[in-house]
Structure 1
Amino acid sequence: MESPHYKGHQQINGNDLYYEYYKNEASTITLVLIHGFLSSSFSFRRLIPLLKEEYNVVSVDLPPFGNSGKSTQFIYSYENMAKSIIELTQKLGVKEFVVIGHSMGGQISLNIAYLQPDLVKRAVLLCSSGYLERSKQSLILASYLPFFHLIVKRHLARSGVLKNLQNVVYNQSLIDEEMFHGYMRPFLEDDIFKGLTRLIRHREGDLPKEKLHQINTPCLLIWGEQDKVVPLQIGKRLHHDLKHSNLIVFEETGHLVPEERPEEVFLHIRNFIVNDEDATIKANELH
């Protein structure tokens, strides 16, 4: 039977957060999916159909991306995005969850695990960003210019959606019309570039190793060996700095692992969760 599918918006921290909620009455486990930079829930379109058959799934569009708001009052920091997702899950009645983050979404997932470890049972990091420093002060100051969002728009237009897709996908034959239009659609309105301007201004640096060392959440890291955006070396560093982590590497795979290897990603996630459930059962039996 088809799982109930809810699409909705929640006003959180002065911005409109869009989410899709796939309820699975047979499961007690909820997965929260967080996409990467210049993306949306669309990037999980091949993974969600597999996950929702076994779990409750919440996929969130981070502002200013996808169908979420592009408020010019919202603080577009990783910490505020993490807190906004925490508040969303609370409003949806989710008491704990497994967080799955791709690219920038992986870094926000780590922020959630750092800020509220009791909420996050496990974390799956798909080619997660890591160790990026804050934007240079000159760029932050330039972001206050009234026309700066047009510079952002021109810069992204110059690289183009097709060129960006070719950079993030190893198997170029996967790039079809549906994929192209799915990643292009969010950039057809100018409001997103004002949000991106504030993201450049507000984005703090990625969590330093001192804070990563404090994260006790079990983490599964999944990487593409040919990732040009967040190289495998970053995955190896995160694996070293996260105390309870495991690193899986896919050959002949680029940055967009949810698109390129959905079945393999799903199987690794399921094994990761099953092992956790088995450990809980054994611990309960001992008591």
Structure 2
Amino acid sequence: GFAVSKAPDRSLQSLVPRWAPPPSDFLELDGQLVHYRDQGPSGDPLPLVLIHGTGASLHTWEAWVAELSATRRVISFDLPGAGLSGPNPEGDYRDARYVDFVRRLLVRLGVARAIVGGNSLGGEIAWQLALADPERVAGLVLVDAGGHAFVPESLPIGFRIARTPLLREAMRWIL
């Protein structure tokens, strides 16, 4: 069988007690609400910035932050449209827009230079930030980071055959 169900949307205020207790905080960045945590020694001259992957949130890093924040300043946050951060006001979720978001967030938090880590999409954003703003990124920690899309120099013969209607029909009878 097949069943369909829908849960009603919940307000941000109803989610905060469970998912954003202290040390969580919120700030507005160019019209967008951002959920973040800034933990550890505030005087750390080279903080760690951790970026989560697709479909995740700053909670991805909780175990890491618990260990690292004893001696380091650790900043984690929800990317636009993820966790408890609001959506991108323009609906723009391209990599370049994420990189710009992270850069603006670091400026807002007074971070001139950091070690930036990321998982999956967060890793891709981290290395793209390092390319776009090398003076701000002192080091990278990449965990299963995304990379450039693979674009083959030519299509394999099977794909070329599949694009040709007559050959595609012939292959149905041969294979």
Once the 2 structures are TM-superposed, how far is the Cα of residue 12 of structure 1 from its aligned partner?
2.5
Letter in 2 for 1:103: S
Match of 1:77 among 94, 107, 124: 94
Match of 1:115 among 106, 109, 132: 132
Paired position in structure 2 for 1:91: 108
Paired position in structure 1 for 2:52: 35
Unaligned runs of 5+ in 1: 134-287
Kindly indicate whether the alpha-carbon contact (under 8 Å) linking 2:28 and 2:34 is maintained by their aligned counterparts in 1. yes
Paired position in structure 1 for 2:170: none
Kindly indicate whether the alpha-carbon contact (under 8 Å) linking 1:28 and 1:55 is maintained by their aligned counterparts in 2. no
Which structure has the highest helix share of the two?
1
Kindly indicate whether the alpha-carbon contact (under 8 Å) linking 2:123 and 2:143 is maintained by their aligned counterparts in 1. yes
SS in structure 2 opposite 1:45? helix
Paired residues in the alignment total 130
Match of 1:102 among 106, 119, 124: 119
Residues 200-215 of structure 1: pairs in structure 2 closer than 5 A: none
CA distance in structure 1 between the partners assigned to 2:110 and 2:90 by the alignment? 27
Residues 25, 16 of structure 1: CA spacing in aligned structure 2 closer, same or farther, 3 A cutoff? closer
- Runs of 4+ off more than 3 Å: none
SS in structure 2 opposite 1:128? coil
CA distance in structure 2 between the partners assigned to 1:74 and 1:120 by the alignment? 27
Percentage identity across aligned positions? Answer: 27
Letter in 2 for 1:46: A
Match of 2:148 among 128, 131, 135: 131
Q: Does 1:67 align with 2:84?
A: yes
SS in structure 2 opposite 1:46? helix
Larger deviation, residues 68-77 vs 78-87: 68-77
SS in structure 2 opposite 1:47? helix
Paired position in structure 1 for 2:61: 44
Residues 34, 65 of structure 1: CA spacing in aligned structure 2 closer, same or farther, 3 A cutoff? same
Name which one, 1 or 2, has greater alpha-carbon Rg: 2
Using the size of structure 2 for normalisation, the TM-score is 0.68
Q: Does 1:12 align with 2:22?
A: no
Match of 1:22 among 39, 64, 69: 39
Once the 2 structures are TM-superposed, how far is the Cα of residue 40 of structure 1 from its aligned partner?
0.6
Unaligned runs of 5+ in 2: 1-21, 151-175
CA distance in structure 2 between the partners assigned to 1:114 and 1:103 by the alignment? 17
Using the size of structure 1 for normalisation, the TM-score is 0.42
Deviation string 1:148-199 (CA, Å, 9 cap, x unpaired) is: xxxxxxxxxxxxxxxxxxxxxxxxxxxxxxxxxxxxxxxxxxxxxxxxxxxx
CA distance in structure 1 between the partners assigned to 2:63 and 2:108 by the alignment? 27
Kindly indicate whether the alpha-carbon contact (under 8 Å) linking 2:80 and 2:87 is maintained by their aligned counterparts in 1. yes
CA distance in structure 1 between the partners assigned to 2:108 and 2:89 by the alignment? 24
Residues 94, 26 of structure 1: CA spacing in aligned structure 2 closer, same or farther, 3 A cutoff? closer
CA distance in structure 2 between the partners assigned to 1:8 and 1:16 by the alignment? 10
Once the 2 structures are TM-superposed, how far is the Cα of residue 111 of structure 1 from its aligned partner?
1.4
Residues 60, 25 of structure 1: CA spacing in aligned structure 2 closer, same or farther, 3 A cutoff? closer
Letter in 1 for 2:32: N
CA distance in structure 2 between the partners assigned to 1:72 and 1:84 by the alignment? 12
